[in-house]
Amino acid sequence: MPYDQAVSDIPVGRSARRIPILIDCDTGIDDSLALLYAVASPECELVAVTCSAGNVDARQVAENTRAILELVGRSDVEVAIGRETPLARALVTTPETHGPRGIGYAELPPARMPLSARFSSDLIVEEARRRPGELTLVTLAPLTNVALAVLREPELPRLLRRLVIMGGSYRSPGNTAPTTEWNVSVDPEAAKLVFEAWAPIGSAVAGSDVAGPVAFARPIALGLDVTERAKFLPEHLAALAARAGCAPDGSIAGGAASDMPGVNPVVRYLADALRFYMEFHSRYDHFYGAFIHDPLALATALDQTLVRTEAVTVDVELSGRLTTGETVADWRRVWGRPPNLDVAIEVEVARFMARFIERVGDLAAGLAG
C-alpha cells in the first residue's frame, strides 16, 4: 500500500470502548515515537506514563516524556518517575544511540507540567487495583519499575488485562552484546523477576503448552526478532511529512528541520530526532534508517493481530561470562516447564508502518491546523 494512501483499519466510533494503556518507558527516540502513536490512536486511552532509567537517566526520561506530551497537547497525562538505578547493577545509558539528552538533535522547550507525586511502581499497582482486569501495561524500558510493582503486589499479573514487553532477543542476535537486547541487559534481575512472576502455576507436560489453571494472560514479548523488521526509512518520514501537510518534495527527510522555516513542530521534532537515530544505524547497522522498536510494541498492545506469537518458556541469564542478560527461550520444551511468554515470531510490518504514518501524520496536521 502506498504510504500516502494508508487508511485506518480499526474503526473507532464515538461509542466504541477504548483500550486503557499504561506506558512504562525510558524515553529515548523510539519511546517518543511510541508516545506520539499512543496519542494519535483513537482507540487508546492513555492512562499514565511511568519513567525508568535506561536510554538516559530517569530524570532526563521524565523531562523528555513530559516535553513530548506537551508538544502534542497532552499535559493532562500523569507522568511519574521511578527508581533511578537497576535493581542490582550500575546504570548504563546509551548516549551514542539516542544522544546525550535522549532525543537526538531535537530541541524541545523545558517541560512545564509537574511530575506526579506518585512513585512509578506505586502508580502501576494503584491503577491496576483501581481497574482490575482492564489495564494493558506496555513496557518500553528496562523492567525495573514493573519488578518493583510485582514485589509490592504479587497479584499484579491477575490485576492487569495484559503485559506487552518490548525486550529480549529470542531467535536473533542481540544489539548490546552478541546475544543480549538493551532493555533486558540494563536490568536483567528485573526482567527475570517479571518473567517468573508471570510463570503459570501448575505442572506442564513435556513438549506441550498444557499447564495447570492460569488466571492471567501470558505477556506478549516483542524481541529484536520482530522489532528490527520495522525499519523507518527517509521515505517513510517524507510520506509522514506530506500527510501532515508539509515538505511534499521530501526535503524534510534530510538536513536539519530546525533550519526550515514553517515546518510543522511535530514533523520538525521527528526529523531532528530521527536524523540522529538514522546516523547511528548507518554507522552500526549498515543502513540509513532506524529500527522503531517501541512504536511497534505499543501498536501491538492496541491490535494484537499485527503479530503472530508462540508460547514459550523464557528465563534470563544473570551470571554468564559472555551472556549475562540473554533471554534464554526453551523452544524445544526441554525444561518441561510451562510457557510464561507469548513471543512474537512474525509481524505485519507494512500494515504497522502505514498505520504509523497515517496516525502520526494526521496528529501533526491536526495540531498545526
pLDDT tens sequence across 274-289: 999 999 999 999 999 9
Percent of the chain with pLDDT over 70: 87
| Chain centre distance of CA 307 | 15
Per-residue model confidence as pLDDT tens digits over 325-367: 999 999 999 999 999 999 999 999 999 999 999 999 999 999 8
The pTM (predicted TM-score) of the whole model is 0.91
Domain ranges for the chain? 18-228+309-351
Query: What mean pLDDT is predicted for residues 16-33?
Result: 95
% helix / strand / coil in the chain, to the nearest 5? 40, 15, 45
Residue 261 has pLDDT above 60, yes or no: no
Q: Is domain 18-228+309-351 given the CATH code 2.40.50.140 in the classification?
A: no
Mean pLDDT computed over 141-169: 97
Q: Residue 129 above 70 pLDDT? A: yes
Query: Each residue of 187-220: pLDDT tens digit?
Result: 999 999 999 999 985 433 333 444 445 568 999 9
- The DSSP 8-state label assigned to residue 196 in this structure reads H
What Å distances lie between residue 332 and 222, 223, 282, 329, CA to CA? 19, 18, 36, 9
Cβ contacts of 321 within 8 Å, gap of 6 or more? none
pLDDT tens digits, one per residue of 48-86: 999 999 999 999 999 999 999 999 999 999 999 999 999
The per-residue pLDDT for range 303-328, each reduced to its tens digit, is 999 999 999 999 999 999 999 999 99
Contacts of 145 (CB under 8 A, 6+ apart): 24, 50, 52, 82, 83, 120, 121, 124
